[in-house]
Amino acid sequence: MKTIAIFASGEGTNAENLIRYFAGSTTVRVAVVVYNRKEAGVRQRAEKLGVPTEYVPKAMFNDEGYILPLLSRYGVDVIVLSGFLLLVPGFLLDAYPHRILNIHPSLLPLHGGKGMHGLHVHEDVLRSGDRESGITVHVCDADLDRGVTLFQAKCPVERGDTPESLAARVHKLEYAFFPEVVERFCEGGYDYLFK
């Protein structure tokens, strides 16, 4: 059984989807949701489903002596970033090598990097004239949105799309595929990429 921590910054719809997916699983357990914005809706979503939450403000998130013992208390094996808007510090990458996953709402390497989150990503996709978008699930490394890609799923960019309509289509891909990719990762299905 792998124990995961979900890191989130916002409403937490993907986090809720993960928690529901793994409820009753014999291979993956969501032990805690860590959030960095006091008003983040993810806290209520997680607590409603019986998952403990930990508020860790930005200053504390960069404190190795605080965050590592916190994760250790929950027995965390894998960290899953789900709409988490802070850069993962180097000490966390070192403590969890190849064990921090992120989902990004575009087909990386397109539309990734600094400032590329939420509707900004979809605005950028539309501005670029791309004919398709989608999601990328990847392993985090020291370069923002540049780690090893585990999975991508695509959807069309339709004529007349707004950032909101494109976001809704991309969200459907996130809900459909993200839990399965996390599960496969936790069960060793991607180990060959790191040999």
List active site positions. Answer: 104
31 secondary structure, DSSP code: E
Question: What sign has the CA pseudo-torsion 15, 85, 4, 169?
Answer: positive
**Distance, CA of 121 to CA of 136 (rounded, Å):** 13
DSSP, collapsed to helix, strand or coil, labels residue 37 as coil
Contact 132, 155 (CB under 8 A): yes
| Polymer length of the chain | 195
Contact 85, 117 (CB under 8 A): yes
Contact 81, 4 (CB under 8 A): no
- Picking from 153, 138, 151, 144, the residue whose alpha carbon sits closest to that of residue 98 is 138
**Distance, CA of 141 to CA of 152 (rounded, Å):** 18
